[in-house]
Structure 1
């Protein structure tokens, strides 16, 4: 028979006060980082806290302050993409770094279905988080309306067209896509197509718009393969579609590095060399860009910086600070490698 040890009784402020020989009010001031406590009393209290093993009851304190000391990190993506997409991981780490420095807990919430949407909406309505960071919101995303209704401090990573004046951080996807497509044109390619992914969100739609801008009158709608997600498998499928439509294609802009990596596989299977027969460029400068052979020319997306900026934006709102009405945009330099 296994004996379950008795649960140790939690130390209280009273225990600390008795051990330190001071009043409970003095202990409370030290625990809450308030002034008007002598150095001698503070030292005695800190020693007593260590001896009796006292841990402040943050749940009770937060209840009084009507604060949870937590921020939600909501990702509107399939579960598999949440795990595989290095940009989401970078955004998450950037946000968590800033929040942890401010003594906030980050709560990750993944939306992959309508049921998830309803569950997360109920969770937010329950006051379990003080604010939210939302990644990959779509056009007419219900989370936008939930945040508006609750007047919840929020920062969106990206800028859906119906976001109105809610705070956001992001990049200029359209300008960046135009710039790298123009660089690809400059290599002498004449039949350039695009594997356009995630067109139900601003990043995908804006990258297609930038590609169209760069080609101008040379743009051919038939040389755009539309795929659902920024994934390796969608990239391979999109590249096979482009080859079937135009075997003479000699340049490709893939909407993400993962998509470009899948396209490279399809090109190898078709016996096409890169960059000899086909030049290809991606978007993100993620770990995918250096896992391919040849390494990908791409646009650097500052994923960690986006997450950090989004967290700072939420914390600023919690402090009552005004946020830029036109959002926060980070730079996206082109990183040119061997694939084009």
Structure 2
């Protein structure tokens, strides 16, 4: 088939060499950022690149280096929650800041179904990314198994139970949940419930365990309701159910700030004041916490730093560093406001 002559010809490294008067080898060294090139040659090559409109052929370079220049951020959440949850956004920003500085492209892959998991697993096997950061992984996560099978550099944000030996960056959800529940108990509440969420992953399980530990003999299993997602609708539905089970409930630990916001709106609609009738606490210290009225007592977790540290872990492995066993836990802090 004859070449379409209406299409502009792509400038090549030969064009840069011809215009700059510099050898092709030296041009290549400049374009690859290699040392031992004179300032005069570098300036001439850069001027020629601008003049001829040269754009690096990344696909060809990747064929040579066997690298894609991309890292996957794999998020196991519905699309709607990814847009709603400020924590996910902050993890994404922290991850991208590190990868951008290292000249890697972040590729965000959202898993909303079994079909998504199968598609993404096949994508990973195709060699389209050099590493992976896995967020919100569930028990028996097929993506984590695929990453472990491929042996590519990887890190979890959080640490799913029975996961493959992949390093993780996380927080101590159990201790943080225990601490904030204890603060709630210390306000004098006696009928305390929990709107739990995400019990198919470590964060949800550990927050529930910390709640139970803090209450001790005061724990009432009938005052725990649980749902799949850390979402506003979870809090609204859960609070309605807790009020049905125990109209005199006077304290609530919500598994996330979004959950707490939903619960507080239901309490308001039911004519219950916060914190007068019901004290409520959340988890995350996200933008949900300061949008609540009154503002929410919660646990601050370093979402941006979680993303940064996970990206640094993957980059370290890509640069030949060892894949460590176990993980790193970052500090949390109880932020006490007016909701309790």
Q: TM-score range by the shorter chain?
A: over 0.9
Query: Which residue number corresponds to residue 241 of structure 1?
Result: 241
Contact 2:134 2:144 in 1 (8 A): no
Gaps of 5+ in 1: none
The CA deviation at 1:155 is: 0.9
Point out 4+ residue stretches in structure 1 off by more than 4 angstroms.
none
Query: Which residue number corresponds to residue 232 of structure 2?
Result: 232
Query: Which residue number corresponds to residue 301 of structure 1?
Result: 301
SS in 2 for 1:19: helix
SS in 2 for 1:49: helix
| Cα-to-partner distance string for 1:109-128 (whole Å, 9 max, x where unaligned) | 11111111110011000000
Query: Which residue number corresponds to residue 71 of structure 1?
Result: 71
Alignment TM-score, normalising by the size of structure 2: 0.96
| Cα-to-partner distance string for 1:278-312 (whole Å, 9 max, x where unaligned) | 00000000110011100000000111111111111
Query: Which residue number corresponds to residue 191 of structure 1?
Result: 191
Query: Which residue number corresponds to residue 49 of structure 1?
Result: 49
Gaps of 5+ in 2: none
C-alpha distance in structure 1 between counterparts of 2:40 and 2:92, whole Å = 42
What does residue range 1-340 of structure 1 map to in structure 2 within 5 Å? 6-340=6-340
C-alpha distance in structure 2 between counterparts of 1:7 and 1:103, whole Å = 30
C-alpha distance in structure 2 between counterparts of 1:42 and 1:78, whole Å = 48
The CA deviation at 1:49 is: 1.4
Alignment TM-score, normalising by the size of structure 1: 0.96
C-alpha distance in structure 2 between counterparts of 1:227 and 1:44, whole Å = 62
The CA deviation at 1:164 is: 4.1
SS in 2 for 1:109: strand
C-alpha distance in structure 1 between counterparts of 2:164 and 2:49, whole Å = 49
C-alpha distance in structure 1 between counterparts of 2:140 and 2:215, whole Å = 30
| Cα-to-partner distance string for 1:57-94 (whole Å, 9 max, x where unaligned) | 12211110100000011111111111111111111111
C-alpha distance in structure 1 between counterparts of 2:336 and 2:267, whole Å = 20
The CA deviation at 1:131 is: 0.4
RMSD: 1.4
Q: How many residues align?
A: 337
